[in-house]
Structure 1
Amino acid sequence: MAELSPSSSVRVSARRILVLDLLAGYVDALGFVYLGGLFASAMTGNTTHLAAALVGGIWPHAFMLLGILGTFFVVAMLATLARLRWQAAIGIACVGVLLGATQIAMLTPWHRTLALVLLPALMAVQGETIARFSGTAIQTIVITSNLLK
């Protein structure tokens, strides 16, 4: 296979980052609208909502947020172990499987509950396993820090 020039490598990485950012935006928007104001990838937003729900005594909302946060962090830890064992390619495969599972879950009577688990799991895998482009670490699920770079 031919080596890419540095500028070609950067362009390829930029396209990959764009696609992954679009996926994260789609999943976060879907989660926010479909799950009633809960984020699939923006855990900072979810922790803020959790604090407000706890202070306001809105327990059902707080429990859903705890479920999303817990799912995200547990899956992120598992994704880290998978990445260390099998390299980043496993992340791409897992993202595809989770995206497909989410689409299939929408056809079931438990679609909302499954979405509460699958969407943050999808974003945790993407964020933890697909994060290096042209030798630079770049986050593809939350773009705030990327805007500052």
Structure 2
Amino acid sequence: MKRSSQLAYGLVLTATAGYVDALGFVRLGGLYTSFMSGNTTQFSVALGHGEWRHAILPCLLVGMFLIGSVLGSGLSLVVPARWATPVVLTFEALAVLGALSLGIATPDLGLAALFMALAMGAQNAVLVQVQGFRAGTTFVTGALFSLGQKIALALTGRGPRYGWVGDGAVWLALLCGALGGAVAYGSFGLLALILPAAVTSAFAVSAALHSALRPVEKTA
């Protein structure tokens, strides 16, 4: 896969994460489906105030995200390397569809969100690394710090003048995705999950075709 294709692929996945996170945030009234630092803080504050009932959902979201990361990473390890990306993306798409199905079938706010967190945990097993910056993850705190660091390097002449652009694009992708998720949920409710399910499904098919058409590397 060419560098430009890798970059576009990773940025769209990052935007998808922002979209799902904003959708979950609005639906749950302040909890997240991919930003686990926020959920961990919410969990800790609830415990500190003795609000045990309010501690349950953020704890479950963190747990499901962790399970998703274990399953996504496990799948990428046990299948042949060339098929890791399409397999993990297929799992993510199925998890998003599971969230949509549960959300339609039951009015419970938490069940759909748990599957959204599962999907986001799995997505982090599909990492796109392009010349020093990483896209495709569901969190950008590291990218934001790297952006500031590279701007400082550029301003002092100790780094590439435009070395910060990649990390800036990753942050902007999450921002735009989150904006889209908030607007879409306001208009369509949980049916807005159709878009990330379609995106991850299309990427899974594209990655599978790329893997199938790529010549098999001969081992010595």
> 1:141 aligns to what SS in structure 2?
coil
1:60 partnered with 2:53: yes
Q: Point out where structure 2 has 5 or more consecutive residues left out of the alignment.
A: 147-220
Write the distance in 2 (CA, Å) between the matches of 1:39 and 1:136. Answer: 28
1:43 partnered with 2:36: yes
Normalising to structure 2: TM-score of the pair?
A: 0.59
How many residue pairs align between the two structures?
A: 141
Equivalent residue in structure 2 for 1:82, among 49, 56, 75: 75
Q: Point out where structure 1 has 5 or more consecutive residues left out of the alignment.
A: none
Write the distance in 1 (CA, Å) between the matches of 2:115 and 2:133. Answer: 25
* Structure 1 partner of 2:88: 91
Normalising to structure 1: TM-score of the pair?
A: 0.84
* Structure 1 partner of 2:104: 107
Equivalent residue in structure 2 for 1:71, among 64, 70, 73: 64
Identity %: 28
Alpha-carbon offset, residue 89 of structure 1: 2.0
Alpha-carbon offset, residue 68 of structure 1: 0.8
* Structure 1 partner of 2:118: 121
1:25 partnered with 2:18: yes
Write the distance in 2 (CA, Å) between the matches of 1:144 and 1:110. Answer: 33
Q: Which whole-Å deviations, capped at 9, do the CAs of 1:4-46 have from their partners, x for residues lacking one?
A: 6xxxx22111211121111100111111110121110111111
Cα distance 1:105–1:136, how it changes in 2: closer, same or farther (>3 A)?
farther
Q: Which whole-Å deviations, capped at 9, do the CAs of 1:68-121 have from their partners, x for residues lacking one?
A: 111111221122111101223211111111122222222112542322320110
Cα distance 1:135–1:85, how it changes in 2: closer, same or farther (>3 A)?
farther
Cα distance 1:12–1:69, how it changes in 2: closer, same or farther (>3 A)?
same
Q: Map of 1:124-135 to 2, 5 A cutoff?
A: 124-127=121-124, 129-134=125-130
Q: Which amino acid aligns with 2:86?
A: A
Q: Is this contact kept in 2: 1:131–1:137, CA < 8 A? A: no
> 1:122 aligns to what SS in structure 2?
helix
Write the distance in 1 (CA, Å) between the matches of 2:105 and 2:132. Answer: 40
Q: Is this contact kept in 2: 1:10–1:134, CA < 8 A? A: yes
Structural RMSD (CA): 1.9
**Greater C-alpha radius of gyration:** 2
> 2:33 aligns to what SS in structure 1?
coil
Q: Is this contact kept in 2: 1:53–1:61, CA < 8 A? A: yes
